[in-house]
Amino acid sequence: MKEANAAPMILTAQLALVATALLAAGCASHPDDKAAVYAALDKSNLSSVTVSQDRHSGILTLTGIVANGRQKSQAETLAGQAAPGYTVRDRIQVKPTGA
């Protein structure tokens, strides 16, 4: 009689383990690539750009002010290369001419 009662308990435990594994896989976060992005930006003289990172959603946001559109584009490209698993949101402003 004990064996008949044990089977449902074992099945319940197995289902709980599978559910926990699936839940953990769905909550995976992205790696911490913020330092790598800053290093790439600094190496290209783009230290005026600030990086914020949302590891859960996989979004890097770039902010700051640069001298021209080329630098803005370069910052976005460098961030994408340094953090390939992230979506890069470019919120960098270009300094107005004569300002």
**Would the pTM of this model clear 0.85, i.e. be above it?**
no
Q: In this structure, is residue 16 part of a structural domain?
A: no
Give the list of residues 6+ apart from residue 91 with CB closer than 8 angstroms, or none: 61, 62, 63
Q: Using CA atoms, how far apart are residues 14 and 27, in angstroms rounded to an integer?
A: 20
Q: Using CA atoms, how far apart are residues 6 and 44, in angstroms rounded to an integer?
A: 65
**In this predicted model, what pLDDT tens digit does every residue of 53-88 receive, in sequence order?**
999 999 999 999 999 999 999 999 999 999 999 999
Q: Assign 90 a pLDDT band (cuts: 50, 70, 90).
A: very high
Boundaries of domain holding 46? 34-94
The number of distinct structural domains making up the chain is 1
Domain of 42, CATH number, reads: 3.30.1340.30
Q: In this structure, is residue 2 part of a structural domain?
A: no
Q: In this structure, is residue 75 part of a structural domain?
A: yes
Tokens for 74? 């370069």
Q: Assign 29 a pLDDT band (cuts: 50, 70, 90).
A: confident
DSSP for residue 5? H
